[in-house]
Amino acid sequence: MSTRTLSTPASSPPRGHPAASRTALDVPALDQKPGRLGRRLAALPGKDHPVWTYVLGILFAVVAIASLSIVAGLLVTRVLLHVHGVAADDERFIGFLAHHRSSGLTDASLVGSTMAGGVVLPIVAAVGALIAVAAKHWRLAGFLLFALAVESASYRATTLVIHRHRPEVLRLEKLPVNASYPSGHTAASIAVYGGLALLLTSRIRNRKAQVAIWVVAILIPVFVAFSRMYRGMHHPLDIAGGVVIGIAAVSALVLVSRASGEAAR
């Protein structure tokens, strides 16, 4: 009489094992254990409260990034622009671009502005988030949505406090004249395209593919920044302010995602 032994294949981890719930959308950049700051954030709402960890993290991120951006804006408008020659150089570069406008460059600048505008980026973020939600990868969905939301909230808060006139050239768009600092298009392009590059390259092991993705992710904000200056909407220092917000938004969402993952574990 023979007995049949039931066993679990080595390739199929038992239910409840961390590997059993992994999907093709899992992202190592968001799943790593957080550092000291992330651990403190994870413990702030108490044990086993990953949702509250995420909510508090997003709120703290907006306050911190908006404060950083406002301080940087005050330093630019109240201090740096009053240093001899800085304001003139900041304006002169935009004048040079405006003087060398052409139909081809004008069309290209419209493309650059549109791909980082208030229609395209929300669609990109929303589509990615919906795919993540369908796969029940909530932190990935949150990253795609809130990286842009945190950037946008920080940008809006900055423009309420910092008032700088746009370049004194013929502007190709009709936007508030005193909302030059910072560049929201530049910040948003970094938050979305840079965030996507971070997510993708954390999964890909091929070094050439990683380099290619990051080259594209860097060139897009550069193209967007050039387009905004070419169209007479921002100065170089405004672009720098947008870079600060964009990088900070991506960094904050990585921290919040890791902290909420720690709270869930």
Q: Identify any residues that bridge with 179 across adjacent strands, giving them in sequence order.
A: 164
Over the Cα atoms of the chain, what is R_g? 22
Q: What's the CA gap between 231 and 175, in Å, rounded?
A: 12
Cα 218–220–222 angle (5° rounding)? Answer: 75
The greatest distance separating any two alpha carbons of the chain, rounded to the nearest whole angstrom, comes to 97
Give the pLDDT of residue 16: 40
What's the whole-number mean pLDDT along residues 27-45?
87
DSSP for 87-147, written as a single string: HHHHHHHHHHHHHT--HHHHHHHHHHHHTTSTTHHHHHHHHHHHHHHHTT-HHHHHHHHHH
Tens digit of pLDDT for each residue in 99-110? Answer: 999 999 999 999
Q: What's the CA gap between 214 and 209, in Å, rounded?
A: 9
What's the whole-number mean pLDDT along residues 203-231?
96
Give the pLDDT of residue 255: 95
Give the pLDDT of residue 27: 85
What's the whole-number mean pLDDT along residues 174-186?
95
Tens digit of pLDDT for each residue in 102-160? Answer: 999 999 999 999 999 989 999 999 999 999 898 888 889 999 999 999 999 999 999 99
Q: State the average pLDDT for the chain.
A: 89
